[in-house]
Amino acid sequence: MRKPWGAVFLIAVVAALSLAAPPRAAAQQGLPDPAYVVIDAGTGAVLAQENANQPWYPASVTKAMTAYMVFQALAEGHLSLTDKVNVSAKAAGQPPGKLGLRAGSKVSVKFLLEAMLVRSANDAAVALAEAVSGSEPAFASAMTRQAQALGMSQTVFANASGLPDGAQITSARDLALLGRALVTDFPEHYGFFSRPHVSFGGQVRPSIMSWLRSYKGAEGIKTGFTCGSGYNLLASATRDGRRLIGVVLGARSGGERNVRMRKLMDAAFTAPPEATSGAILIAALRGHARSAAPYVLGGGRCGVAPSPGTEHMVAGKLPGWGLVFGSFVSKDEASRRIADNQAALKDVVAKGEPAIVARTSIATHRYSALLVDLDQQEAGSACSHLQELGVYCLAVPPKLLNNPHALWR
């Protein structure tokens, strides 16, 4: 007997109640309401959803779209998997996580895809973007145009990696459309999303995607995390010849992210296939959304938080402009990076005071390496010089340097 839409809607309601606190409780805790969607990959039928049209920061789930663009270039003959790509200073200088590619080295498209999808390597993502479009900004524009062509009407891309950018926005609905497009448009390359490891520098490095190891039938696709996005997951799984695609946005830990997805997938796989009859299709899913993406892990729950305007801030203990060289697992490592960069800058700036800032508000302690007490011109010249050498550098003005919620922290 044909199931009414109400039956399918009930699945979504039951799943929502079991996966997250009610909206009232979430609001009382200062947390955004959950956003998720599960679809049948074959039909596009929506099996469960909540806030699927809510704008959200994609974080490294962005790399699934970067992969789509590379697959398209392969299909059109602009690239081949064996082509060697030159790693630019910009690509090599991307902040972690990255693989550690050297500026000027040449690596294959196949290897870069594996590094980007298995290890979420930012340097690999930028190298691929430059190989396809000549520059990352041009690639981001092409990503956005292609996303719109796929029906991802709420999505704008500003970079290839998913590093924080206020302009880079998507939604659970749009990411589900992307997941389905990856399956249908490039089945010959879909296996890249389930690679268990990648070899680099004589070492075998395992996939960072715990979903692959924690769910029967899991196939990938991509995780993502920033403090703005929370823990995101675009995933697929196949059982008994039936493939589902799910999106979970804004979980507060990797474990919570996997638990939400597992419950959603289990509920959807349990429902009989005929339950999708009459269900709304993902391309037609519409609904009310807030005007802005929520910031999931602000306050004291994350090592970084939103950077508000600086006009009302006052300078603090760190003097002048600062250069941020990244964050490290130990003080010794941070000190070595400062010393190395000071040596590289000896002919550019003569002054500057080393500073190490502990990032103690996150579970794994890290230490940001800085050089401070510079003026604006010195900071700009120094960062430009380091970036030309393929070294990560961020110039930070005095008010942001001492803002405990600044993104560099």
Catalytic residues: 60, 63, 120
Q: Dihedral of CA 205/207/208/213: which sign?
A: negative
Alpha helices in 202-276 (DSSP H): 211-214, 254-270
Tell me the three state secondary structure of residue 36.
strand
Torsion of CA 22, 26, 32, 38, to 10 degrees: -30
Name the burial class of residue 171, with classes exposed (0-12), middle (13-18) and buried (19+) by CB atoms within 10 angstroms of its CB: buried
Closest CA to 92 of 74, 107, 73: 107
Closest CA to 408 of 297, 305, 302: 305
- Cβ-contact 193, 117 below 8 angstroms: yes
Q: How far is CA 197 from CA 4, 119, 208, in A?
A: 44, 8, 9
Taking the C-alpha atoms of residue 384 and residue 378, their distance in angstroms, rounded to an integer, is: 10
Residue 104's CB: how many other CB atoms inside 10 A? 11
The structure tokens 């039951």 sit at: 14
- Cβ-contact 21, 11 below 8 angstroms: no
**DSSP state string for 269-283:** HHS-GGGGTTPPBGG
